[in-house]
Structure 1
């Protein structure tokens, strides 16, 4: 798994993103993200009701005793140690949302880039449970990220027009990742969400390049 570092155009953001950071696969280029964003269905937000997190079975088995959560913790961390049950016991994680480094696994969460409840309200309520399980455990797109736990809690089910990560230099990548997930899973967006995403993509303050 390749690690990536940030190449920042804004000098003020260099210190916050100078350490190597991992990235999930499938983050599109700026131009592709813009094209994908323009193709997404724009609909008014309507909560269909009936949401329950259990309708998105998550942390499915990935391999042996390891589930998707443990897989992502290993993917995103360095010097990650697990026990015989594949539970992570130690490591180091750098949260791309704020650039903070953590050594206790209790200080990080696995965030769904597009929250499950947001997906439910924008098309996933019509899916089968099997498809919702695939969405909740998608490691082939930029859907799952290891982040500072309180930021995951602050984000909740909010879309980018209501919540953005504290690290402004991550805006572009955050928006490109959000768009890619919605595009892949054919989920709709609101007009406010589309405006926020377009603005964030256009910041274009960084790009991922392979770490040497």
Structure 2
């Protein structure tokens, strides 16, 4: 093999190692599937009657083996995560897909609800039973729960994509696809502004 070709091969191998994929939740649809799901969502004005309360969505419930939902996501989305007998992480690292930051302390990580609980409330969940809201708030089957930088999650708060987007534009496709997948499965409505923002983000796929 020529020297230049050997160097190129080595550089390619190094790039492959450094570009290891960030662990992500299950159920993220392709951009084309997300566009089809988006087209089928009901568009209507969100109704905020002022009665939302986070406690109406019981979250971080027991998920088996002594681990709650938060701890389960930290184990799922971290690298080399070690937990103690109470399932609390004692070491590991987490790369936040929203901003690209890497953290080695679980206390620096929040578990973000892709579709915020209040957004769900004002787009249909106010009519659900508490049991259904609990399922939504602890949904490990769809791309609803993400391990992200704590202050980024706090900046997002209950904002929809027309008001807040991740700083990493390279993540916009995945973010919009995940948001749409969650709203589609749970039959939640979207606003016209939300649909416009999601469409723009899906066009980056």
Q: What CA distance in whole angstroms lies between the structure 2 residues aligned with 1:149 and 1:33?
A: 27
What are structure 1's unaligned runs of at least 5 residues? 1-13, 205-212
Q: Which has the higher helix share?
A: 2
SS in 2 for 1:84: coil
Matched-pair contact (CA < 8 Å) for 1:96–1:147? yes
| 1:48-95 residue CA offsets vs partner (Å, 9 max, x unmatched) | 221111100001111131111110000000111111111112210000
Partner of 2:38: 37
Query: For 1:150-161, what aligned pairs fall within 5 Å after superposition?
Result: 150-161=151-162
Partner of 2:79: 78
4+ long deviations beyond 3 Å: none
Partner of 2:47: 46
Larger radius of gyration: 2
Q: What CA distance in whole angstroms lies between the structure 1 residues aligned with 2:21 and 2:189?
A: 33
Query: For 1:69-148, what aligned pairs fall within 5 Å after superposition?
Result: 69-148=70-149
Partner of 2:10: none
Q: What CA distance in whole angstroms lies between the structure 2 residues aligned with 1:147 and 1:203?
A: 22
Q: What CA distance in whole angstroms lies between the structure 2 residues aligned with 1:22 and 1:196?
A: 25
Is 1:182 the counterpart of 2:183 in the alignment?
yes
Q: TM-score, normalised by structure 1?
A: 0.87
Q: Which has the higher strand share?
A: 1
Q: TM-score, normalised by structure 2?
A: 0.90
Q: What CA distance in whole angstroms lies between the structure 1 residues aligned with 2:142 and 2:173?
A: 16
Number of corresponding residues: 189
SS in 1 for 2:119: helix
Backbone CA RMSD of aligned residues = 1.2
